[in-house]
Amino acid sequence: MSTAIRLEGVRRSFGRKEVLRGVTASAETGKVVGLLGRNGEGKSTLFKILLDLLEPDAGTVEVLGERPDGSGRLRRRIGYVAERPAFHDFLSAGEVLEWRAKFFPEWDAARADSLMRRLKLDPGTRVKGASKGQLAKLAWVCAAAHDPDLLLLDEPTSGLDALVREEVLGELIGELHAGGKTILIANHRMEELGGILDEVWVLSDGVITAAVELEKLRTEACQVTARLHDWGARPVVPGTAAMPSERPLAAWAAFSREAADALAASGALDVVERRPLPLEEAMKLLLKDAGGNHV
Amino acid sequence: MSEETLPAVRLNAPLVRPNALVGALARVREGAAAIRRYAPTEARRNRVLYAGWPLIILGTMPFAAAIAVASDIPVGQAVSGALAAWAVAGLPITAVLFGAVSGAGLRGPAEDAEAPLPLSPRQRAFGALAAASAAFLGNAALVAALVAATSHDAGELLSGIASLGNWGSVAGYVGAMGAVAACSVAWLTTASFTAAYAASHAVLGGVAALVGGTLLMLPLGAGAALFINHAPELAMPFLAAAVASSAVSAGAAGLALAKTAPLAARSARLSWAKASLLSVLTLSGSLGAWPAFWNAGRAVKARLEQPWGGWDKKDSLQSQREKRLEGLMEGLGGRLVRETPAGTVVLLPGSDPALGELVRRGRGGFERVTRAFFDLDGRVWAEVRAPFVEGQATVRTIWTGDGKGPLTRYLTLPPDMELEVYGGRAAVDTSPYDYSDDSYILLDPAKPPLLKRQ
């Protein structure tokens, strides 16, 4: 299977602040990858680099087999939903679509119309007076109407109400996935994506600290409760994260069987209990402990 | 060196690979198409400015007329003045305004709205610049149409400004100044666009362009003034430098935009060295104008320092021409005698019929050749004064020849005019006795004599 996204040691600073400090990750074609990270961790910067909108200071970027070269040609094959979708405020939704169609040779007007109807978005809606939700819907239509090979979705459900969110996440992304599209999605409500993700990347402190296959996480993530031999000497094991506990017991989330085994074999504790961790909770813990132990 | 290590040489290797050339052409075509597709977006984004500006131009006409009525001056004169102001100052300011607003408007919200488009920063920038330039040209056309339609005086005024007095008589001057104006306006638009785009700020971009524009126009304007007053015959080399300087300016500003756009849009690291290089590139034509001006200044200074009597110097150009003229006249049967340090000459009658007519003996004495010179094309021009007759105005005629054959009569000067030859490719300046105004004769043997009073 080919690689849709390949990042190697990607660095990017803004002034003195280094936002990305050597991101390395890769996603295979056709996969749906969730990007977890706290606010300000560089998710949007990473998206912009993948979109060829920002130039990395260092490192290698390959998207759909091409190196972004600043020409923008790559974006013909990418659909993008920004965290805060922006459109020219002098246009209506229908005009936005007509305008975009001029720039994308593969633009499918019928598909755009169909998406508009499906998302119940009136083409006459003026951008200037549109709600956040309407703008998010329009962004979705724009991102999908030219049948892109890669979708970069930066908080794509922000502003959408619960019903539409379900429609978008449950159906639209599912359909795109089924069509063989590669999707990289950043979403605060990652638990909503549990059913569709193939893999999760955790972006923390400017690097991808974890790249976990979701199926593995679903089947292997567990909570390990143990009695420490020395309360002051907690073992630090990659692929685990400390959980709240009450003395004399200590608890960890282990994101893989190997991590749980390694924790048990650390010699610093006696395992009392090992029970499966629900996926949503595992993902929350992954994000929460993103800056801690690398998976 | 052993035989194995000798480098292989392909004598028939092409300098440019055909495939690379085809690819480059395809990219150029693709880029041009993208610019064409994008330009309407820019036109729509700034539609209020682009559509409203012509209304402002039109609005100044009745405003000028109203001021004229209130101030008791002719309405036509006021409207002409307003149009001249638009032509000289308004249009350059329009160029700066359109460029700066367009450049800054391409950043910020527009950048976010257009981020997903498959366009390079260069295509966006040049698409927007094309729209701003087209809007500017629309306004320039409007001013030109108003000048043509509303007032003959305005046309006169503009042509007077364009020719800057005596310079209208220098062949190629108007064309050269037109080229300088076009290139300067192109520079103003591009430079203000580039600066505003890089700074994401219209005012900063506009101010930067105005400063750069001053750097560009100051040496050209000062050089022009020098030549107008002192040495029109040296104008052409300076004009050529002015055209080159302004053209290089415009081209360099375009190149700077091409280099700046991707750096700014993709927020690439920009070192001070690179930023300085781009600034110098934008201003290269302006900076280049200064050495041209310096050179012109030196040439004019040398010309001014050359004493009138310098004709006598063996090595002076004018002296050599005088000798040629003298030799020519002698060859034709006449004799040239320098009468005063100002170069007045007397031509004695000779055997050639044309010269005989030219220097025929009149009732009051010899006709005199009061001025004679070679122009830069090697053509002989001579003013001949008929003998003085009591109670009659002195008749002066201008004669010309190719320097190889006899002279022919070209023009009879009006009686109130005295010829003053300043030299130049085809310029003979005259001034009336009272010196209240100037006029000149365009000396072009291919055309009928044109006497122009100012």
Q: What is the pLDDT of residue B447?
A: 58
Measured between alpha carbons, how far is A133 from A157 in angstroms, rounded to an integer?
8
Residues B337 and B301 in one domain: no
Q: What is the pLDDT of residue B236?
A: 72
Sheet holding A58-63, edge to edge: A17-28, A3-14, A58-63
Q: Is the pLDDT of residue B126 over 60?
A: yes
Extract the tokens encoding A74.
């790559």
Torsion of CA B383, B388, B392, B398, to 10 degrees: -10
| Whether B118 and A88 lie within 8 Å, measured CB to CB | no
B121: which chain A residues are within 8 Å (Cβ-Cβ)? 70, 72
- The average pLDDT across A116-143 equals 92
Residues B236 and B282 in one domain: yes
B110: which chain A residues are within 8 Å (Cβ-Cβ)? 88
Q: What is the pLDDT of residue B290?
A: 75
Q: Is the pLDDT of residue A110 over 90?
A: yes
**pLDDT tens digits, B406-415:** 667 777 776 6
Asked if A146 reaches chain B (Cβ–Cβ under 8 Å), the answer is no
Residue B54 lies inside a defined structural domain of this protein: yes
Calculate how close chain A gets to B117, using CA atoms only, in Å: 7
| Whether A51 and B115 lie within 8 Å, measured CB to CB | yes
Angstrom CA distances, B335 to A49, B350, B387, stand at 86, 8, 18
- For Cα atoms B316, B428, B385, give the angle at the middle one, nearest 5 degrees: 95
Bridge-based pairing of strands A17-28 and B368-374 is: unpaired
- Percent of chain B past pLDDT 70, that is, above it, reads 55
* SS3 per residue for B86-139: HHHHHHHHHHHHHHHHHHHHCCCHHHHHHCCCCCCHHHHHHHHHHHHHHHHHHH
Q: At what angle do helices B47-71 and B121-150 cross, to 10 degrees?
A: 30
CB A150 within 8 A of CB A5: yes
Residue B285 binned pLDDT confidence (cut-offs 50, 70, 90): low
The contacts of residue B134 (CB under 8 Å, 6+ apart) are B39, B43
Residue A89 binned pLDDT confidence (cut-offs 50, 70, 90): very high
| Whether A103 and B118 lie within 8 Å, measured CB to CB | yes
The beta-carbon neighbor of A86 closest among B45, B113, B120 is B113
Q: Is the pLDDT of residue B47 over 60?
A: yes
Q: Which residues pair with A199 in a beta bridge?
A: A33, A213
A33 or A177: which carries more pLDDT confidence? A33
CB A159 within 8 A of CB A8: no
Q: What is the pLDDT of residue B266?
A: 72
The contacts of residue B273 (CB under 8 Å, 6+ apart) are none
- The average pLDDT across A11-24 equals 92
Residue B92 lies inside a defined structural domain of this protein: yes
Phi-psi region of A172 (alpha: psi -120 to 50; beta: other; left: phi over 0): alpha
A220 burial type by CB count under 10 A (0-12 exposed, 13-18 middle, 19+ buried): buried
Closest CA to B447 of B176, B171, B62, B94: B171
Asked if A100 reaches chain B (Cβ–Cβ under 8 Å), the answer is yes
Which residue do the tokens 């991101």 mark? A23
Using DSSP's 3-state secondary structure scheme, residue B296 falls into helix
- The average pLDDT across B267-280 equals 73
3-class SS shares of chain B: helix, strand, coil, % to 5: 65, 10, 25
Q: Which of A82-86, A87-91, A264-268, B344-348 has the lowest mean pLDDT?
A: B344-348
Mutate to test the interface with B, among A19, A47, A71, A151 (most CBs of B within 10 A): A71
Q: What is the pLDDT of residue A241?
A: 86
Domain that holds residue B102: 19-305
Phi-psi region of B401 (alpha: psi -120 to 50; beta: other; left: phi over 0): beta
Residues B294 and B432 in one domain: no
Mutate to test the interface with A, among B38, B266, B270, B271 (most CBs of A within 10 A): B266
Q: What is the pLDDT of residue B7?
A: 40
Highest-pLDDT range among A208-212, B94-98, B255-259: B94-98
Asked if B29 reaches chain A (Cβ–Cβ under 8 Å), the answer is no
What is the DSSP track for chain A? --EEEEEEEEEEEETTEEEEEEEEEEEETT-EEEEE--TTSSHHHHHHHHTTSS--SEEEEEETTB---SSSGGGGGEEEE-SS----TTSBHHHHHHHHHTT-TT--HHHHHHHHHHTT--TT-BTTT--HHHHHHHHHHHHHTT--SEEEEESTTTT--HHHHHIIIIIIHHHHHHTT-EEEEE-S-GGGGTTT-SEEEEEETTEEEEEEEHHHHHHH-EEEEEEESSTT-----TTEEEE---TTEEEEEESSHHHHHHHHTTSSEEEEEEEE--HHHHHHHHHHTTTSS--
Mutate to test the interface with A, among B38, B47, B48, B112 (most CBs of A within 10 A): B112
B351 or B197: which carries more pLDDT confidence? B197
**Using a CB cutoff of 8 Å and minimum separation of 24, what contacts does A178-181 make?**
A180/A29, A180/A30, A181/A30, A181/A148, A181/A149, A181/A150, A181/A151
CB B230 within 8 A of CB B300: yes
B109: which chain A residues are within 8 Å (Cβ-Cβ)? 86, 89
Which residue do the tokens 């150009």 mark? B317
Asked if residue A235 has a cis previous peptide bond (ω within 30° of 0), the answer is no
- The average pLDDT across A262-273 equals 86
Calculate how close chain A gets to B267, using CA atoms only, in Å: 6
Local structure of residue B396 (DSSP, 8 states): E
Q: What is the pLDDT of residue A1?
A: 66
Measured between alpha carbons, how far is A156 from A187 in angstroms, rounded to an integer?
7
Residues B281 and B428 in one domain: no
Residue B316 lies inside a defined structural domain of this protein: no
Mutate to test the interface with A, among B28, B47, B107, B120 (most CBs of A within 10 A): B120
Measured between alpha carbons, how far is B164 from B173 in angstroms, rounded to an integer?
10
**pLDDT tens digits, A150-208:** 999 998 877 777 777 777 767 788 888 888 899 999 977 766 777 788 998 989 889 99
Q: Which residues pair with A241 in a beta bridge?
A: A253
| Whether A103 and B37 lie within 8 Å, measured CB to CB | yes
| Whether B266 and A55 lie within 8 Å, measured CB to CB | yes
Calculate how close chain A gets to B248, using CA atoms only, in Å: 27
Report CA B223 to chain centroid distance, whole Å. Answer: 11
Give the number of A-B residue pairs with CB atoms closer than 8 Å. 65
Residue B100 lies inside a defined structural domain of this protein: yes
Q: What is the pLDDT of residue B423?
A: 37
Calculate how close chain A gets to B26, using CA atoms only, in Å: 14
Using DSSP's 3-state secondary structure scheme, residue B386 falls into coil
Q: Which residues pair with A14 in a beta bridge?
A: A17
Asked if A103 reaches chain B (Cβ–Cβ under 8 Å), the answer is yes
CA-nearest residue to B119 within chain A is A72
Q: Which of residues 33-52 of B touch A (CB under 8 A)?
A: 34, 37, 41, 44-45, 47
| Whether B115 and A86 lie within 8 Å, measured CB to CB | yes
Which residue do the tokens 């019928």 mark? A110
Measured between alpha carbons, how far is B176 from B247 in angstroms, rounded to an integer?
11
**Counted domains in chain B:** 2
- The average pLDDT across B110-128 equals 93
Measured between alpha carbons, how far is B26 from A256 in angstroms, rounded to an integer?
52
| Whether A75 and B110 lie within 8 Å, measured CB to CB | no
Q: At what angle do helices B202-230 and B173-199 cross, to 10 degrees?
A: 160
Residue B7 lies inside a defined structural domain of this protein: no
Residue B18 binned pLDDT confidence (cut-offs 50, 70, 90): low
**pLDDT tens digits, A40-69:** 889 999 999 999 999 999 999 999 999 998
Q: What is the pLDDT of residue A155?
A: 86
Q: What is the pLDDT of residue B234?
A: 66
Residues B54 and B149 in one domain: yes
- For Cα atoms B62, B67, B70, give the angle at the middle one, nearest 5 degrees: 125
Local structure of residue B307 (DSSP, 8 states): -
| Whether B41 and A100 lie within 8 Å, measured CB to CB | no
Residues B358 and B291 in one domain: no
Angstrom CA distances, B434 to A184, A244, B416, B418, B438, stand at 88, 108, 9, 10, 10
**pLDDT tens digits, A223-234:** 999 988 887 788
Q: What is the pLDDT of residue B172?
A: 67
Asked if B391 reaches chain A (Cβ–Cβ under 8 Å), the answer is no
- The average pLDDT across B222-228 equals 69
B41: which chain A residues are within 8 Å (Cβ-Cβ)? 88, 99
Residue B129 lies inside a defined structural domain of this protein: yes
Residue B282 lies inside a defined structural domain of this protein: yes
Residues B357 and B293 in one domain: no
**pLDDT tens digits, B243-256:** 888 888 888 889 88
Q: What is the pLDDT of residue A290?
A: 52
Bridge-based pairing of strands A182-186 and B417-420 is: unpaired
Q: What is the pLDDT of residue A210?
A: 82
Residue B217 binned pLDDT confidence (cut-offs 50, 70, 90): confident
Residues B300 and B190 in one domain: yes
- The average pLDDT across B176-191 equals 87
CB A86 within 8 A of CB A27: no
Q: Is the pLDDT of residue B362 over 50?
A: no
CA-nearest residue to A135 within chain B is B113
B99 burial type by CB count under 10 A (0-12 exposed, 13-18 middle, 19+ buried): buried
In b/e form, how buried is each residue of B206-231, taking b as 16+ CB within 10 angstroms? bbbbbebbebbbebbeebbebbbeeb
| Whether B41 and A82 lie within 8 Å, measured CB to CB | no
- Percent of chain B past pLDDT 90, that is, above it, reads 22
CB A216 within 8 A of CB A182: no
Measured between alpha carbons, how far is A122 from A110 in angstroms, rounded to an integer?
15
Measured in residues, chain B has a length of 454
Q: What is the pLDDT of residue B264?
A: 81
Measured between alpha carbons, how far is A241 from A209 in angstroms, rounded to an integer?
13
Residue B370 lies inside a defined structural domain of this protein: yes
**pLDDT tens digits, B287-340:** 766 776 777 677 766 655 544 333 344 444 445 545 555 554 444 434 333 333
Residues B42 and B191 in one domain: yes
| Whether A53 and B41 lie within 8 Å, measured CB to CB | no
Asked if A79 reaches chain B (Cβ–Cβ under 8 Å), the answer is yes
Residues B272 and B364 in one domain: no
| Whether B267 and A100 lie within 8 Å, measured CB to CB | no
The beta-carbon neighbor of B119 closest among A79, A80, A103 is A103
Extract the tokens encoding A228.
């420490």
Residues B215 and B364 in one domain: no
- The average pLDDT across B61-76 equals 88
Asked if B112 reaches chain A (Cβ–Cβ under 8 Å), the answer is yes
Average pLDDT score over chain B: 71
Asked if B123 reaches chain A (Cβ–Cβ under 8 Å), the answer is yes
Cβ–Cβ contacts within 10 Å for residue B164, how many?
Answer: 17
Q: Is the pLDDT of residue B14 over 80?
A: no
Q: What is the pLDDT of residue B158?
A: 57
Q: What is the pLDDT of residue A97?
A: 96
Residues B268 and B353 in one domain: no
Q: What is the pLDDT of residue B300?
A: 66
Cβ–Cβ contacts within 10 Å for residue B367, how many?
Answer: 22
Its sign, for the CA torsion A44, A45, A49, A50, is negative
